[in-house]
Amino acid sequence: AQRVTQPEKLLSVFKGAPVELKCNYSYSGSPELFWYVQYSRQRLQLLLRHISRESIKGFTADLNKGETSFHLKKPFAQEEDSAMYYCALSQIKAAGNKLTFGGGTRVLVKP
């Protein structure tokens, strides 16, 4: 069975400091990994996905299959990055792409 683990429930950093959110997964096949973000009073939305290899809002994430990790990083955190972040894994098969989520990490960026 697939599993996503986010070991930190809360990360508190100062504005301008680097931030790294850890995500580890277990999956027997070839996974697709995502980071979703939920800002205060907003709906859950996609931040980035590993196949895109993009940098979104200064965030990057690299899939490390050897370590089964997909950590999210930003070199200089901003106050508007304060939100709840979820790492998620998708099973790519004919039956659909349902997401398995980690427990989430709350990021608080202090001024």
Partner 1 sequence: GAGVSQSPSNKVTEKGKDVELRCDPISGHTALYWYRQSLGQGLEFLIYFQGNSAPDKSGLPSDRFSAERTGGSVSTLTIQRTQQEDSAVYLCASSFSGSGNSYEQYFGPGTRLTVT
* Choices 22-30, 62-70, 75-83, 99-107 (CB under 8 A): range interacting with partner 1: 99-107
Share of the chain residues as helix, strand and coil, in percent rounded to the nearest 5: 5, 50, 50
* Choices 14-22, 46-54, 60-68, 69-77 (CB under 8 A): range interacting with partner 1: 46-54
**Which of 11, 13, 56, 99 touches partner 1 (CB under 8 A)?**
99
* Residues of this chain, 65-84, that bind partner 1 according to CB under 8 A: none
**Which of 25, 35, 85, 86 touches partner 1 (CB under 8 A)?**
86
The answer to whether 53 contacts partner 1 (rule: CB under 8 A) is no
What's the first-to-final CA gap in the chain, in angstroms? 41
In the chain, beta strands by DSSP E: 3-5, 10-14, 19-21, 24-26, 32-38, 45-49, 60-61, 72-74, 83-90, 99-101, 105-110
Q: Which residues bind partner 1 (CB under 8 A)?
A: 32, 43-46, 49, 51, 86, 88, 90, 92, 94-104
